[in-house]
Structure 1
């Protein structure tokens, strides 16, 4: 079943669906984009796929090469259309449909009975893409690879290099956990409704080896440091990191947060932890 512009319009009319702006809904109407995503996902017969924002199944029905699919959709008005699509394409048996808000899911509990390694393949709703991806990186190590369609601005933040204007907390957090790259550009015209922004295909590959660090300390330093982005770290982190801490980490206290690499943040957090409370000042 190929879902193009006419098929999308037919599904929307038949099920009285009006795309929700508040839910960030933009449905793909170009089958070539769907095929490209599936090809880049490189699915095999043993792969388990997590899809968030399944909509009415335009992407879901093309994931037939996977062993199983968990399709999460928050909008209850889309569920009948999703079930219909999966039934017509023979994907219903291998697809578990969940009517859930992905932002409310506790991923450790979610994967208790869904064992093994997973890939995520999704056209993510614009309004949740960044916090959702960070939540999955933090709490779902079972998801080893993510291939997602997101707003271009979001994608550029995740892949931003140190020192650039886009480099910030999402960049550091995501790059700590994974290798990230933009592997495709997606124009607005392939969606309905047509958004005012461009999209990209973003690929995350979870790192096999993760540098050990106290994440609570590192995330706190990131939050405070970027809370005053234009200030030197010696001022923005005053009370958290002193001269001893900067020296131990091998960092210039006159640096600003966007000047620090992921490894620099790791070194700074480690220096703070090693120094204990006496080393904060």
Structure 2
């Protein structure tokens, strides 16, 4: 297990834009890790929407209703402080976040934190604590603007966004605090199978941008109806073989996407487990 000095590996899923598939991505990472025997704790910082917490609630209900033994992690919803002035709220946020993280580190191999689609002190604290930061973006210049603006005529990267600057600050804070590093993974999500000029331009801009601000650019999950259908039942693609849900060729292709994604994330011990699994199969 990826334990080092009683510290869990912290995965943060975040950006400052909704609709990019953060909760879907987070849920599939969570269940993939659970299925490999890892102990994972989950923190949902979006106390208003609670998309990830609701996803897990749906999973529990579906499991009980259908008498299934689905792996379900401990989930904590952490709300931002609303007491006193700004300084007091920031103090309370920092205290509550630090105490929860200290508690979860002791019993977890991984801690996954799902951030809201907006800037907040809690979100900044989470980013600064990340070992792996996953930023899903959709296949459009609207979402690319989260990272940087581009020239209107050439589509070349013009200047960095506030979010990219925030991640840069989080990296500096992490290095100064414990000399740790943040592996920033930008995941191009909800991609279409069809080729298009816009798609190629977004791809070129991301490749240029990763050289400037040092992130790893990987392919995420495609635009598939199955991801939206799984939410009400709290299921993931990993679960389908253990349920009565019918598998289609689209589901099989989506599972391949997920396997590739988990490999590309390069999480501790994941490759070793997959290699051992393949060796036993052969």
Same topology, TM > 0.5: no
Looking at secondary structure, tell me which structure has more helix per residue.
2
Q: Which has the higher contact order (CA 8 A, sep 6+)?
A: 2
